[in-house]
Structure 1
Amino acid sequence: MFVKGVNDGLLFLLDEECPMDALLEHLTQLLHGDTASVFDGPVVPVSIDYGNRELSAEDARRLLGLFMRVENFLIREWGAHTAARRALLNTRGAMTGQTIHKGTVRSGQRVVSDGDLVVIGDVNPGGEVAAVGDVYIFGRLAGIAHAGIDGDERAIIAAAELRPLQLRIARTVSRPPEGEGWPPRTFMEFAYLGPDGMAVERLQYLSALRPR
């Protein structure tokens, strides 16, 4: 399964080959298990794409029900080959791989992905996450995050709570204002490279950076 930030929300690409019972179990743990609290917060538009998988009416009901039970998920799309999926392919080319890390990244720990990286949990001070592609943190980023480690300046870093010690995109480094830290927010944000260096915006403005 892949989780991607697209336009003003999230795209869940469900594994087409995974047995249905295993897929349901994985989604139940992700959305309603020990890590469920990281999805709390403001309303997030969600697209759910099951690709070429053939679904029975009962399978569709069970899958969709798991997402509908997340109170702040606003389901915008549900189906095979959604507009969100097509937009992602058009803007990023061939899809990269993705690593999903469940749990806290603790001090002294480093998690690296050769594609995109999704952390379902916090990144503590002294912890580090890095990816060739984008970094998504469904929790608090209080450590170091590096996206585009091979030089991709279009990579982004998104977090439910952005309080990093350091952000890096490609070769550009940004640190919080000295003595102030990053200002508190109640919505998911992402960092990206703009004409004047690194900038931070609400995740809903990602579509302006990566238009359809």
Structure 2
Amino acid sequence: MPSVILKGHKEGYEFILKDVSSFNEIKKEIDEILKKVQNEKTSKGDKLTFALNTGNRLLNQEQLTEIEEIFENYPRFSIRKLNADVLSKKSFLEFLDNRTIHLCCEIIRNGQIKEMNGDVLFCGSVHKGGILKATGSIFVLGSVEGVIHAGAKNDALAVVCGNVAHAQQVRIADL
């Protein structure tokens, strides 16, 4: 059973790497396929780009570099993009942190800035001159006399809910 499958799409070609195969087998088969395509008369002179679909295998930087070195032996070919069905632990933790509702029961005084990732359920107090920033939405149960800034990283779909009648400013994204 092959470790690498070559498929053609409208956007170009795609290598599907079997996640159960050894990495050495995959490198060998990629090299063999690129040799065959290089030698075909119908494709002489054409520049071809390939997508790499690794399935449930997450390539580390060293492995990706080894595959790129194989492609460097064939100047007509290049890697267009890399797809994987899995995330790195770091990416997953960032995603989880941004999608979680965090509880904040602090007092934010004049001159203080409290920055948080994701959505925030705020039960504390923001005094005049204090700033509460969140990358997601802010749900206010406490008192606000300072600045509330939801969607701090340009998330225009973020919302601010609660009693903010006495707030100095209510910001969403860059508005």
Name the TM-score, length of structure 2 as normaliser.
0.41
Structure whose CA Rg is larger: 2
Q: Relative CO higher for 1 or 2, CA cutoff 8 Å, sep ≥ 6? A: 1
Name the TM-score, length of structure 1 as normaliser.
0.35
